[in-house]
Structure 1
């Protein structure tokens, strides 16, 4: 048979309902969508866990030592690269150094002086202060202190030594995180002289990257070495290995249901037509041409089902987590959706191989 004849034969089978294309497509679509949605729900839960980890300050690691921190070394930690499978190219995404410089007395709180800290410019990235606020001249205060003072960014605070402009307010709730800067004034200062602490945001969590903070410490005669690091907030635990959780998630195995189902549908749908196929072989039609016809018919129901599932997945993730995340999440499901196209054709080939000309009369005799 010529190729146009094969396509024509396939088209007639599809239009007439012989192929049962709609039924096959609906079943495959339902299985693929269900398996992918279960897996996506698990991934979205991990992403939410990661957001909570970052928002809580658990990703911020601190090394402290009285005038034992080199701010220049602290600032260069963001250039460190990871080599193990648990690291990203630059696991330390932000760093900043702090140095306590006495206290500041506000006119509104004259009986309660606030600690004053010098902070290197990089501290703004650690605390989540926007680039616009970083460019402004002034001090940084926490959301707790701003609420207590009924102040906001852009306001001026009256102090015992004159007016002080609030350049930025950073989120720092009372949720078990380090509260030393909750009621303190952070003064952006150039990186000069020794500092007391180095803060680093490490995401994803990585013990090897956290140990790099030790490289910022300098030896000071008569003082204990600054070699101990801690988290700004340890309430959520000390380790969040989302990469391992992602690789080991139980819902990942559910995705195999899609290619397996595609193969089974192809086998069952062709076996249901075994009398027709055996009769065609009996009349002398080449097996290769019959297989080509069946392959086109299999593609006719498998491709729309899988494309529809991919579109539904994208729409679901776009609604739940936004368009920027939808494409990435949909891409995680595409390998096994694509594999289902191949397994459907494998199922067609297996079913064709199981049907022989000599079985025609047996098939006819046992028909129901």
Structure 2
């Protein structure tokens, strides 16, 4: 099921003028604060009425200014998860979950399956005041699922959580993406979330679509660094657990070779996606010897992007995948880096954080 959006809206002094088609999976709306992300998701939900345009989920038109169509919010069949859980404090978790059925009049999803999917069985008898932030968000997601939606809208659902709670809930979001097949429109300005969850990314800037495309393509594009941020720039590689070495190291098979990372709790054969930050990649024109770094991948320079400062972003081909490296102009010149030049990408095992390793939606090939 796809989402098609082509709308214009004047919101005070802010102009929203966006158009994109999002395929099945998780489409992340990414951009800085004030770029129009929340306004756009509210327009899809029916909470903001565009001045012109059209919105459709699958083949069902939710809004069409020219045809006079504006489906009321309760009839749009969209589950909305806000930054805060917005649970009813006087109801138990079970009654909060079932509330959507009473409001929509639809049977909704299977309660037991949703409870198992989100790991909230121990919470059913509690009141929201006794839940942690991560637990409350899982309940809010469950309530949205039980409304029997055609699509989930998630407006920065982890923004109010600390790092520990984010780490707690991200695996559940990955399960939700992988096991339900429900399309999700996910608002975020956090690159770690984008790298873990996104199958498609729509980048907003000043109320316009700056770029849109597959997550792997956009995150490895040097021209995106200005928008994503130099420190957050990095590529996402599909990988598979090849071996658990027994010495605290997990070996991953990637198209360009092997990666050795600190132990990952995953069975051999598990499909993963690994985010590698550009600032953690070192380049060498000859294969290094007698160094502590375990990861040395043969690569070819595809492109260089020189900014106004001393840094250069280098796009690399590593097998069938692409990497980014951030080096100084001085280093790029000294190494003679240019498109087509073969070299080696060096990465310390401990440079990749556990939070940058996630479940992959489906194995490639």
* TM-score, length-scaled by structure 1: 0.22
Q: Which has the higher contact order (CA 8 A, sep 6+)?
A: 1
**Structure in which a larger fraction of residues adopt strand:** 2
**Structure in which a larger fraction of residues adopt helix:** 1
Task: Look at both structures and tell me which one has the larger radius of gyration over its CA atoms.
Answer: 1
* TM-score, length-scaled by structure 2: 0.22
